[in-house]
């Protein structure tokens, strides 16, 4: 039995991709899986040994906690180390050089572009930081055994640097969504936005959309399910909600267990993705919420950014509108609310698409293929 140590300094122990998809897939396949993350309690869940390190007070202490992660990683004496964050790259490189064991870098995002979304950096620092990441990330990753990417152009970037890559998309496990659909709970008079909130991801735009929509549909609600990226963005957004008189129209829920997400989505009318033009958003990315909306059989209204347009046009799962045009978003929602047959058509097409093209049953085999290749190479 190969021993696998998964570690993340950024994500929670029960992160959807880290725990619910990858760790569970590996444990079910017979691997001995330990997951290291910031948290409060050590326990074994579904065969996965969760080992936690106290949550740091701020980002500076989070970086310092890398030393503690390193200590626990070395102590695990794993056959494979699999990490999920850019800031863990130096530790991954060190593990490879010192232990000689297999090391996998699971790259979730286009980090050079992500630098522009980090609101805590001064604007003049962001272009410099983006260039440094673009240069040094692939240089370090090349020294590792595998880089797992989530979209094709991300994979192409690492391929060009000489990295050994695999594409394992960020898509849902369909079983929990199918279970929610079978319950057939009554649909509520609300829209939904899933996932993290920031300025670039349309936190303020959502408020403006609901203000416009309330002129014709005063009873419609919006549920935003996911955390804000920064406390001050949350404070400013909620103050703006109050300023627009939408306190009773928009509800924010920070986090719910992953298994509960389908209950909220399947009982909503339309899924929204009002992302704004931004360096990170303009890259080809794989937004998980798109596929979760499809899996829950609800239509989508989304911005016309490359990734969203590509997926939604191919799938026929909804409507694409100009990203920074608030009224276009609101009008598209109005059209769907007035046409149940069109909603049903989009929902059906999206559901069929995610069942045949983008679901975790497909991607799990790719992940297991990576590990089988590593296992075979280590036995030679």
Divide the 380 residues of the chain into consecutive groups of 10 and give the mean pLDDT of each group. 94 93 97 96 96 82 83 95 94 96 93 70 76 92 96 92 95 90 90 92 96 97 92 94 96 91 96 85 74 96 92 95 96 98 97 93 96 84
pLDDT recorded at residue 55: 84
Verify that 23 and 117 share a domain, yes or no: yes
**Residue 101 lies in domain:** 3-171+359-378
Verify that 74 and 125 share a domain, yes or no: yes
Nearest to 319 by CA among 252, 274, 352: 274
| Ranges assigned E (strand) in 9-160 | 32-38, 43-45, 48-53, 80-83, 102-106, 146-149
Verify that 132 and 228 share a domain, yes or no: no
Verify that 124 and 258 share a domain, yes or no: no
**In the 8-state DSSP scheme, what is residue 121?**
S
**In the 8-state DSSP scheme, what is residue 22?**
I
Verify that 367 and 277 share a domain, yes or no: no
| Distance between CA atoms of residues 312 and 300, nearest Å | 8
> Under a CB-based contact definition with an 8 Å cutoff, are residues 170 and 17 in contact?
yes
| Distance between CA atoms of residues 297 and 281, nearest Å | 25
pLDDT recorded at residue 119: 56
pLDDT recorded at residue 362: 93
Here the CATH number for the domain that contains residue 80 is 3.40.50.2000
> Under a CB-based contact definition with an 8 Å cutoff, are residues 120 and 59 in contact?
yes
Map tokens 């870098």 to a residue: 105
Instruction: Report how many domains make up the chain.
Output: 2
Which residues have a Cβ under 8 Å from the Cβ of 87 and sit 6 or more positions away?
9, 10, 62, 63, 66
What is the pTM for the complete model shown? 0.87
Verify that 157 and 130 share a domain, yes or no: yes
Verify that 149 and 188 share a domain, yes or no: no
B/e letters for 276-295, b = 16+ CB within 10 Å, e = fewer, are bebbbbbbbbbbbbbbbbbb
Alpha-carbon torsion angle 226, 171, 103, 51, nearest 10: 40
Nearest to 98 by CA among 59, 143, 55, 138: 143
Verify that 30 and 142 share a domain, yes or no: yes
pLDDT recorded at residue 380: 47
Verify that 348 and 366 share a domain, yes or no: no
Verify that 188 and 118 share a domain, yes or no: no
> Under a CB-based contact definition with an 8 Å cutoff, are residues 307 and 329 in contact?
no
Verify that 269 and 342 share a domain, yes or no: yes
pLDDT recorded at residue 185: 84
Output the CA–CA distances (angstroms, integers) from residue 276 to 155, 167, 331, 370, in the order listed. 24, 26, 17, 35
φ/ψ bin of 22: left (φ > 0), alpha (ψ from -120 to 50), beta (otherwise): alpha
Verify that 160 and 181 share a domain, yes or no: no
């Amino acid at each position: 039995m190969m021993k696998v140590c998964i570690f993340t300094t950024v994500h929670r122990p029960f992160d959807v991709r880290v725990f619910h998809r990858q760790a569970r897939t590996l444990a079910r396949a017979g691997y001995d899986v330990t997951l290291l993350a910031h948290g409060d309690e050590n326990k074994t869940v579904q065969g996965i040994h969760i080992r936690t390190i106290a949550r740091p007070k701020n980002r500076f202490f989070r970086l310092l906690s890398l030393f503690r992660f390193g200590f626990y990683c070395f102590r695990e004496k794993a056959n494979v180390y699999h990490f999920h964050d850019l800031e863990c790259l130096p530790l991954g490189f060190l593990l490879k050089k010192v232990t000689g064991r297999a090391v996998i870098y699971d790259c979730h995002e286009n980090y050079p572009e992500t630098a522009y979304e980090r609101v805590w950096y001064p604007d003049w620092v962001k272009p410099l930081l983006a260039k440094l990441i673009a240069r040094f990330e692939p240089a370090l990753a090349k020294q590792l055994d595998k880089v797992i990417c989530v979209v094709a152009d991300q994979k192409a970037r690492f391929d060009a640097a000489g990295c050994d890559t695999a594409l394992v998309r960020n898509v849902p496990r369909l079983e929990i969504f199918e279970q929610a659909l079978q319950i057939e709970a009554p649909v509520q008079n609300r829209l939904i936005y899933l996932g993290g909130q920031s300025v670039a991801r349309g936190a303020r735009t959502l408020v403006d959309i609901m203000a416009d929509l309330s002129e014709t549909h005063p009873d419609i609600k919006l549920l935003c399910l996911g955390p804000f990226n920064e406390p001050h963005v949350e404070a400013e957004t909620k103050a703006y909600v109050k300023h627009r008189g939408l306190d009773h129209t928009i509800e924010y829920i920070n986090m719910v267990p992953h298994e509960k997400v389908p209950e909220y989505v399947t009982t909503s009318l339309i899924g929204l993705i009002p992302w704004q033009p931004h360096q990170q958003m303009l890259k080809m990315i794989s937004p998980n919420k798109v596929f979760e909306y499809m899996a829950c059989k609800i239509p989508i209204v989304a911005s016309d950014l490359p990734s969203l347009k590509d997926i939604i046009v191919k799938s026929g799962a909804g409507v694409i509108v100009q990203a920074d045009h608030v009224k276009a978003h609101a009008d598209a929602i109005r059209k769907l609310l007035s046409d149940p047959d069109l909603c049903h058509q989009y929902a059906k097409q999206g559901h069929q698409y995610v069942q045949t093209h983008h679901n975790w049953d497909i991607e799990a085999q790719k992940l297991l293929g990576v590990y089988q290749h590593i296992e075979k190479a280590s036995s030679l």
